A = this chain, B = another copy of it.
Amino acid sequence: MMKPQRIQGEFQIQLEEAAHIIWKAIKPEIENSPSTRSKMKIKLEDDTIILKIESKDSTAFRAAMNSTLRWIKLAYDIIKLEKGDNLWNSQKTSNTN
C-alpha cells in the first residue's frame, strides 16, 4: 500500500522596504497556526521573507501556502495603498470606465 506522501517547500518573497513590516505582522499568525497537518516557519533576510512549509498531504500544503500568500499580499497592498501606489498586480484600469 502506498504511504501518504510528504510535501515541503521553501519560498522567497522579495518585498523591498515593506518586508520588515509584513514579516512582523504575519509572524504570530504563522507561528501559532492551529493546523496539525502543516508546519510553517518564517524568516526575514534583508528585503526578502523566507517561508518554509512542510505538510503531510497536498491539500494541507496548498491550504497553508494559499492562506499565507494571501496574508502577505493583503499586507503588501495595505502598505501600497497607504503610500498612494497601485496595488501589487492590479491590471491597468483605463480611466474611461
Q: How close is A49's CB to chain B, nearest CB, in angstroms?
A: 10
Known contacts A57-B88, A69-B62; is-contact A76 B12 (Cβ 8 Å): no
Stoichiometry (number of copies): 2
Q: How close is A35's CB to chain B, nearest CB, in angstroms?
A: 13
Give A57-72 interface residues, CB cut-off 8 Å to B. Answer: 57-62, 65-66, 69, 72
Q: How close is A91's CB to chain B, nearest CB, in angstroms?
A: 11
Please name 21 pairs of A and B residues whose Cβ atoms are closer than 8 Å in the assembled complex, sorted by A.
Answer: A1-B86, A2-B16, A2-B17, A2-B80, A3-B16, A5-B13, A5-B16, A5-B76, A7-B13, A7-B69, A9-B9, A9-B11, A9-B12, A10-B10, A13-B58, A58-B72, A58-B88, A59-B89, A61-B69, A62-B66, A65-B65
